[in-house]
Amino acid sequence: MSLELLRMGGPVLWVILGAGLVAFFVFVERAIHLHRARIRADDFLKGIFNILRRQNADEALTICDDTPGPVACVVRTAILRRRERKESLQASIEESRLAEISRMERRLVVIATVAQIAPLLGLLGTVLGMVEAVLAMYQQAPLIHSADVLGGAVRALVTTAAGLTVAIPCYAAFNLLVVKIDRIVVDMDRAALEIAAFLAEGAGAAQREQQA
């Protein structure tokens, strides 16, 4: 977009571009965060299970602390609550799961909001540009200067194009982040089920040894 078009776009155009810039920075930050949060859950759980079989919960907790992402946080919660009843353990895991989902979805609303309001801002700029063109025709009739009329029309077209140009990538970025979050949630849910089953099995084995 040339500097001349930016000048002719008016204040609404700058608002659209500013909102798009904010959405871009949020997308980059969220994409980096989610990339770091994705781990190989199967390998991580195998390592944790091997450590817990040696009755070394402290080492398992240390590994969870050193491992980024929601999977490690949920597993850490389960290990910390391993001596609680099954219902209490599951409630703690679910609470940790919801907290991690909320953390992953943080600031996504910014991208979604920009995707929704950018076309509306473009429409607002279009209406203002057409109003400007009509006023120019009204004030200069019957001798109308085409430059004054075309200025409002160009502003209308530029803001409409800018609104769509910002909104379309924002929709794509939002959906991409949602897909990444869904994949992590699947890993997190599977890890929660496996660690809960493992701890329940270990608790059952310990109880049978005590009864024997």
Q: Dump pLDDT digits (tens) for 185-205.
A: 999 999 999 888 888 876 544
Q: Which of 194, 204, 207, 199 lies closest to 53, judged by CA?
A: 199
Question: Does residue 185 contact residue 73 with C-beta atoms inside 8 Å?
Answer: no
Burial annotation 161-187 (CB, 10 A radius, 16+ → b, else e): bbbebbbebbeebbeebeebbeebbeb
DSSP structural state of residue 40: -
Residue 64 in contact with residue 49, Cβ under 8 Å?
no
Query: What local confidence, expressed as pLDDT, does residue 208 receive?
Result: 46
- Asked whether 128 and 154 are in contact (CB, 8 A), the reply is no
Measured between alpha carbons, how far is 162 from 180 in angstroms, rounded to an integer?
Answer: 28
Q: What is the mean pLDDT of the chain?
A: 84
Predicted local distance difference test score (pLDDT) of residue 145? 59
The amino acid sitting at 121 is L
* CA-wise closest residue to 105 among 174, 167, 40, 170: 174
**At 84, is the pLDDT very low, low, confident or very high (cuts 50, 70, 90)?**
confident
pLDDT at 211 over 50: no
Least confident of 10-14, 22-26, 58-62: 10-14
Residue 39 pLDDT exceeds 80:
yes
Average confidence (pLDDT) over 177-186: 94
Task: Please provide the distance, in angstroms rounded to a whole number, between the alpha carbons at the two ends of the chain.
Answer: 79
Lowest mean pLDDT among 4-18, 94-108, 113-127: 4-18
| Band (144; pLDDT cuts 50, 70, 90) | low
What's the length of the chain?
A: 212
Of 97 and 151, the one with more pLDDT: 97
Predicted TM-score (pTM) of the model is 0.81
